[in-house]
Amino acid sequence: MIKYLNPSYVFKISGKLLNLFKTLLIPLVAIGLIFSLFLSPEDYIQGDSVRIMYIHVPSAWISLFGFAAISFFCILNFLFKLKNVTLIYKSLAPIGLTFNIVAIVTGSLWGQPTWGTWWAWDARLTSMLVLMFFYIAFIFSYKFIKSPDRSIKACTLISVLGLINIIIIKYSVEWWSTLHQPSSISLAKETTVHFSMLIPLGLMVFALFMYVAVIFLMKYRIETIRIKRKGFKKL
């Protein structure tokens, strides 16, 4: 068990994984894009703008899962003082923030032709914007708070509040009337996306999660090297 937590062992394994993911990434993205841009049909009412969904939905999922993950590791660190996991959430948070912004921007681009507006202050859109501020606050609290002890406390507070916000995002479309449509894909009910559109969506979800894995591993390894140079104590 100890062996798996050893940074140099993790470093070695993560290198191998990174190489594997990197080789998989390009074909996956290519297949995903071919399906979502050319092989999938137009929507019966939205026309070609349905293709925006193939980026929008995976990005939104990544930003939600990303925040859940960094909160989990941050709370783990708060409870058990596991220094190693700070690297995990430091490497993951900027990726989550990026995809959060991508989800908001693509949603806005889709909203203009479909709803007739770029932005609406409804519960779903607003809570996604709030998530973006939580991401920024999280990143700031480990970047600018010098004392590690205080920084963990700040991150934990943001994690707890942010996790509640994640639940609000998930159920916002059911609890309140919103301009944003209810979820089309959910464990609780039958999916309302036609099969021919589910294939490109699934492929893009897979491809973008693979992209996240590649960027995450690269960042994680760079942080490890940086710490090795500075000495592990200064973490």
For binding to other proteins (CB under 8 A), which residues are involved? 41-46, 50, 53, 75, 78-80, 113-117, 120-123, 156-157, 160-161, 164, 168, 176-179, 181-184, 192-194, 196-197
Distance of closest approach, residue 190 Cβ to other proteins, in angstroms: 11
Cβ-based nearer residue to other proteins, 71 or 91 = 71
Bridge partner list, 43: 47
Distance of closest approach, residue 148 Cβ to other proteins, in angstroms: 15
Cβ-based nearer residue to other proteins, 53 or 207 = 53
Residue of 117, 97, 114, 109 lying closest to 55 (CA atoms): 109
What is d(CA 58, CA 99) in angstroms, rounded to the nearest whole number? 9
Q: What does the block give as tokens for 80?
A: 């058990």
Distance of closest approach, residue 2 Cβ to other proteins, in angstroms: 16
Residue of 2, 17, 9 lying closest to 218 (CA atoms): 17
Distance of closest approach, residue 63 Cβ to other proteins, in angstroms: 20
Distance of closest approach, residue 53 Cβ to other proteins, in angstroms: 7
Q: What does the block give as tokens for 205?
A: 């979800």
Distance of closest approach, residue 104 Cβ to other proteins, in angstroms: 17
What is d(CA 48, CA 67) in angstroms, rounded to the nearest whole number? 31
Cβ-based nearer residue to other proteins, 122 or 223 = 122
Cβ-based nearer residue to other proteins, 19 or 192 = 192
Cβ-based nearer residue to other proteins, 204 or 212 = 204
- Quote the DSSP letter at residue 110: H
- Map tokens 């990174």 to a residue: 18
Cβ-based nearer residue to other proteins, 172 or 224 = 172
Distance of closest approach, residue 117 Cβ to other proteins, in angstroms: 6
Dihedral sign for Cα atoms in the order 164, 152, 86, 96: positive
Buried b (16+ CB within 10 A) or exposed e, 118-148: eebeebbbbbbeebbebbeebbebbeeeeee
Cβ-based nearer residue to other proteins, 116 or 231 = 116
Q: How far is CA 158 from the centre of its chain?
A: 16
